Chain A
Amino acid sequence: MTITIALPSKGRMKDDASAIFERAGLKIVAVGNDRSYRGRVEGADDVEIAFLSASEISRELGNGSIDFGVTGEDLVREGLANADARVEFCARLGFGHADVVVAVPEVWYDVDTMADLGDVAADFRARHGRRLAIATKYWRLTQNHFSGSHGIQLYRIVESLGATEGAPASGSADIIVDITSTGSTLKANHLKILTDGVILRSEACLVRARKAAHDGDPVVARIIAAIRGVV
């Protein structure tokens, strides 16, 4: 059986992933020219490399159309319901760090925890005639964190596909759920992270689609062992 590994198709993520694979003894060579979207692993004819965008990788892992993928944990957990039942996080790769966080305006001096936010959300409608609005592209992670972990039901998600951190100042939402790596963008927009507002500490991971055919497959076991050996 040929094992397909999907790697990010461009940027830092692509370079960092290739470097780790090379250190693990799985040197990746592009098929055809440098910009090709297919590749292979030197000396391993039973492994195929597909270069995809990070969010495609999470989707294809869910479909099971690839065997392994390197992508951010945030994208996998956001993209797939019951992620842990459908994929296995085999190794954390030490790059692509980003936290998914709940951030509120700094000037909300009374709000530092999710419990505070719960209080604010509870009578938001009575005071403002609408629900507390959260700008985010992370629907699933937000719902799990708010309703699942903190019993907060009364809010609305406002979809935001870019410049989420500007939403509270522009008035299109009250608070945000977004990724941050250094926190500087949040600070520049006068937002603060709640003390228990880190939903996920994400980084790039080697992720395996759970497939019955993988059981006892020496190639699958070898890839996992090789990557784990260098991270």
Chain B
Amino acid sequence: MALINLPAFADALLADFESLGTLRVDTPVIQPAEPFLAMAGEDLRRRIFMTESETGESLCLRPEFTIPVCLRHIEAVTGTPKRYAYLGEVFRQRREGGNEFYQAGIEDLGDTDTATADARAVSDAMRIVANRLPGRPLAVTLGDQAVFEAVVGACGLPAGWQKRLIHAFGDQKHLQKLLTELAHPRTVGVFGPEVVRLSMDGLLEDEDRLVAHVAATMEATGYSTNASRSPEDIARRLKEKMELANTRLDRKTLDHVAAFLALDVPLADAPAALFAFAQKSGLKLDDALTRFDARVAALAKTGADIGAIRYRSAFGRPLDYYTGLVFEVELAGTHAVLAGGGRFDRLLTLLGAREHIPAVGFSLWLDRIEKAIASEGGAQ
């Protein structure tokens, strides 16, 4: 039976949050399900506990805190940067462990000094975990979606392919499949018979006529031109797809991407390794690398143990609101993630914020931390 009371170290954790200068917030346990499903995708549906209100609104037991905390920040329209801390129960079906467990974390919303905010998130997470597990060596993995985006951008691929690759970042299997397709383009670019006809009618060279044709077809077949994809959307992507089909990634570029994705070095060595990669490949990555280096420098200033952090270039999350930093904290020699976080600059806009609000944060898996503490006791 899983423990469902507050972990014994809850008070010490809250004291840490306070000393880090965060604002403690709480949110209702019962939440509208829509924002979670819209942000995280359908896969989440199987793992959250859903119910309905009397009026048919989909509700769920809070599966995590980030979205409710962000929604609250947007509603408060403070406009000023805020660092929120939370500690409470979340409800999710997991392969291992119970379905209800405590989670805590910090969300740092609105700070435009991203290097400093990133560094603070990593070092705060490390410090809090280290405080619970004194003397136990940590292993931190760090990745950066923005560097990958820069590599893909510098390879000179058409926009459609860039989007595909960036979207697959963090999903190793899918990314590999796409790269293989890029190298052997016979598997891409399936066009239906309708497109051949359009081409013979000369519609593919004339975007305005193509749009008009799509609109007329929609009307003739009873489809609305504005309920779903518009004629302009379809015409534009058809053009993009023709570009995609005609693109082949040459051996050299493919090797560059592969070499990049294989990088796995101590963080302290990462700026030099990335610089060497940029030089060798001839890819122009200056902006992304400058930001990467600034984050490493900011991290060094926080006093965090940089030696415990490795940079893994392929490490990312395949969700469209993650934009830069991602990281995970484990005990060295284990594979249980005790804390994980990253930068999600797109999330608040997706949730309805009018202006761009940069965001970075992390959450702590308290039941796993508790287990790690217990395993220490057992070993002694």
**Given A123-B163, A153-B42, A157-B42: A112 in contact with B192 (beta carbons within 8 A):** yes
Is B318 touching A151 in the complex (CB atoms < 8 A)? yes
Interface size class on chain A is 35 or more
Interface size on B, residues (CB 8 A): 45
Task: Please pick, from A122, A143, A156, A190, the residue contacting B222 in the complex, using a CB distance under 8 A.
Answer: A190
- Report yes or no: A171 in contact with B228, Cβ–Cβ below 8 A: yes
Nearest opposing residue in chain A for B195, CB measure: A109
Q: Which of B46, B190, B228, B320 contacts A113 (CB under 8 A)?
A: B190
Nearest A residue to B215, CB-CB? A107
- A-B residue pairs in contact (CB < 8 Å), sample of 30: A106-B217, A107-B217, A107-B223, A107-B234, A108-B229, A109-B195, A109-B214, A110-B234, A110-B238, A115-B164, A116-B241, A119-B164, A119-B240, A119-B241, A122-B164, A122-B320, A125-B38, A127-B229, A127-B233, A128-B228, A130-B38, A131-B41, A139-B45, A143-B42, A151-B168, A151-B318, A154-B320, A157-B42, A168-B228, A171-B224
Distance A174 CA – B224 CA, assembled complex (angstroms): 11
Residue of chain B at shortest CB distance from A153 = B41
B9 adjacent to chain A (CB < 8 Å):
no
Contact B223 A105 (CB under 8 A): yes
B198 at the interface (CB under 8 A from A): yes
Complex: A208 Cα to B42 Cα, angstroms: 31
Q: B2 to chain A: which residues have CB within 8 Å?
A: none
Chain B residues near A (Cβ < 8 Å)? 37-38, 40-43, 45-46, 160, 163-164, 167-168, 171, 173-174, 177, 181, 188, 190-192, 194-195, 198, 214, 217-218, 221-224, 227-229, 233-234, 237-238, 240-241, 318-320, 350
A residues adjacent to B (C-beta < 8 A): 105-110, 112-113, 115-116, 118-120, 122-123, 125, 127-128, 130-131, 139, 142-143, 146-147, 150-151, 153-157, 168-169, 171, 174, 190, 192, 195
Label chain B's interface by main secondary structure.
helix
Query: CB within 8 A of A125: which of B177, B217, B221, B320?
Result: B320
Interface pair A122/B221, CB less than 8 Å apart: no
Chain B residues contacting A174 (CB-CB under 8 Å) are: 228-229
Query: In the complex, what residue of chain A is closest to B237 when comparing beta carbons?
Result: A110
List of B residues within 8 angstroms of A143 by Cβ: 42-43, 45-46
B234: which of A108, A147, A192 is its contact (CB, 8 Å)? A108
Give complex CA distance A186, B237 in Å: 24
Q: Are the CB atoms of A190 and B38 closer together than 8 Å?
A: no
Q: Known interface pairs A125-B350, A156-B42. Does A119 touch B222 (Cβ–Cβ under 8 Å)? A: no
Q: CB < 8 Å: which of A110, A131, A147, A169 contacts B38?
A: A131
The 5 A-B pairs with the shortest beta carbon distances in the complex, nearest first, are A151-B174, A171-B227, A153-B41, A110-B238, A190-B221
